[in-house]
Amino acid sequence: MKNNISVSNLVDYLKKKNDNDINLLNINIIGEISNFKYYQGRNIYFDLKDKDAIINVVIYQMYHNNLIFKPQNGDKVIVEGSIKVFKNKASFQIQASNIHKYGIGDLYIEFEKNKKLLASKGYFALEHKKNIVKFPNNIAVIAGNEAAALHDILKTINNRYKLSKVFVFTSLVQGKNASQNIISNIKLINSLAYHFDTIIIARGGGSFEDLNAFNDLNLAITVYHSKIPIITGVGHENDTTLIDYVADLRALTPTDAAIKATPNTQDLMGYCASVQNYLKMAFFKKLNSSSQLIDYHHANIVYKHKNRLNNYHKQLHYYLNVFNKNKFYNLVNSYFQKIYLNNMKMNNSIKYCISKNDIKIDTNFHTLSNNYNNILNNKYLLLKTNHQAIINNFTKIIKEKKQLFDRLYYQLCLLDPKNIMNKGYAIVKKDHNIVKSFKTININDKISVINNSIELVVNVEEVNKNE
């Protein structure tokens, strides 16, 4: 009769058997990944299966750095790990330390060796990456002839940025001679006198072996030394080749490479519209501020200089009236008439003295008369000289006062808001008040746009506010 054992004893027995079996430690298991689950910063879980069986696999976070590719459902892989039996669930699991794609072998080893070599020489350093031209005029594309990847690139560039000219350099992208063919195209593009802004190297998806031409060491070195910035778009998102590490920019797919090489015209138009709105708001803000400043200075100048200007006006009119030529000449003639009358009176007095007094006066009369005439002539000449000096001085004063008046008038004209509006500016009013901030304007508001004698009444249909 067989001995009866408990479930616990059975599981303990199986666990001890597993733990003591060296054939179950550090083994390699071949299978296909399914039910793949990965959460950032946590463990990786998936099922490893073949046509007859399935087993659960876990990769703890400490082993994530060992992975040289990103696993996904459907990948056929070799899992390195050990079998773990769980007593409480009576289940077992593979605790993996690494995963390799099945069937790669020497290609992967060569890939990793070249990758470490280039990394040690600084070929992957960010400071060696060249900037991609934001607005390229000429783009060179290295891709397979009539390939879907080439078609996607041309279509994407045409939709995004029609200003770019695209030049296609067809090349082998798979097989023994593919890497040398791509190298020749890169060197050719760099040697041409025609200036290229960007080079795109592209190929559609495929297996590791299909993409192995892009893992060539000499090709990677050629990409690194290219004077023209290179964008790679090889394979799918999960595919990473050697030239992706040395390129100036790596794209996830050929289409993504075309996107990274060109700006989006629609985005540019939106950006230009936003800049235009910003400049418009800034202009109106500056205009409003300047208008207020002009009003302030205008009022200040009028207040400070009103009385002074009035005095200048009065003085100017006074001098113009006083020095009117006809009045001035009448004044001089009147003065000369007085001199002439005084001269006649003096002569009469002398003659009276001659008739009444001694005849000896007659001998002195001519001498006295001549002396008097000389004095009179000198006085006349002096008066005439002073008359001309007075006219010259007052003419100079009038000219200076007029120049001062013109200068002040010109300065007032510069500060006149109407003259500013003649240059194309306008005043915006809402509810008969000047709008000092466009933040106060809302949809359906009625506003007035005033430019000198023209006033436009506008109904606001749209308000774009920039934060």
Contact predicate 203/225, CB 8 Å: no
User: Which strand (E) or helix (H) includes residue 408?
Assistant: helix 361-414
pLDDT at position 221, please? Answer: 96
Domain termination site, one of 54, 86, 103: 103
Judged against a pLDDT cut of 70, whether residue 381 lies above it is answered with: yes
Place of tokens 């046509």: 51
* DSSP states of 28-48: EEEEEEEEEEE-TTS-EEEEE
**What per-residue string of b and e applies to 232-255 under the rule 16 or more CB within 10 Å gives b?**
bbbbeeebbbbbbbbbbbbbbbbb
Are residues 210 and 116 part of one domain? yes
**What per-residue string of b and e applies to 83-117 under the rule 16 or more CB within 10 Å gives b?**
bbbeeeeeeebbebebbbbeebeeebebbeebbee
- Extract the tokens encoding 56: 């659960």
- How far is it, in rounded angstroms, from Cα 222 to Cα 219? 5
User: Which strand (E) or helix (H) includes residue 399?
Assistant: helix 361-414
User: Which strand (E) or helix (H) includes residue 209?
Assistant: none
Number of domains, the chain: 4
Place of tokens 């007085």: 338
Are residues 328 and 243 part of one domain? no
Are residues 129 and 207 part of one domain? yes
Query: pLDDT tens-digit profile of 132-155?
Result: 999 999 999 999 987 789 999 999
CATH number at residue 127: 3.40.50.261
Judged against a pLDDT cut of 60, whether residue 420 lies above it is answered with: yes
Are residues 386 and 454 part of one domain? no
Non-local (6+) Cβ contacts of 71 within 8 A are 33, 36, 44, 46, 77, 99
- For residue 149, the enclosing domain spans 108-263
- Extract the tokens encoding 396: 């100079």
Place of tokens 């000369």: 336
Q: Tell me, what amino acid is at 368?
A: L
Q: What is the mean pLDDT of residues 337-364?
A: 54
pLDDT at position 357, please? Answer: 47
Closest C-alpha among 127, 74, 69 to residue 100: 69
Q: How far apart are the two ends of the chain, measured CA to CA in Å?
A: 88
Residue 236 pLDDT level (bands cut at 50, 70, 90): confident
Domain termination site, one of 103, 119, 146: 103
Non-local (6+) Cβ contacts of 249 within 8 A are 129, 132, 229, 230, 231, 232, 260
Query: pLDDT tens-digit profile of 13-48?
Result: 888 888 777 777 788 898 888 888 887 778 899 999
Q: What is the mean pLDDT of residues 190-203?
A: 92
CATH number at residue 90: 2.40.50.140
Query: Bigger pLDDT: 225 or 111?
Result: 225
Q: Quick check: is 1 in a domain?
A: no
Let me know if 262 is exposed, middle or buried by CB neighbors in 10 A (0-12, 13-18, 19+): buried
Non-local (6+) Cβ contacts of 418 within 8 A are 452
Are residues 143 and 87 part of one domain? no
Domain termination site, one of 84, 103, 122: 103
What angle, rounded to 10 degrees, do the helices at 361-414 and 325-356 form? 170
Q: Quick check: is 276 in a domain?
A: no
Q: Quick check: is 324 in a domain?
A: yes
Judged against a pLDDT cut of 80, whether residue 271 lies above it is answered with: no
Are residues 314 and 214 part of one domain? no
Give the global pTM: 0.45
Query: pLDDT tens-digit profile of 252-269?
Result: 999 999 999 999 888 778
Closest C-alpha among 148, 150, 135 to residue 200: 150
Judged against a pLDDT cut of 90, whether residue 168 lies above it is answered with: yes
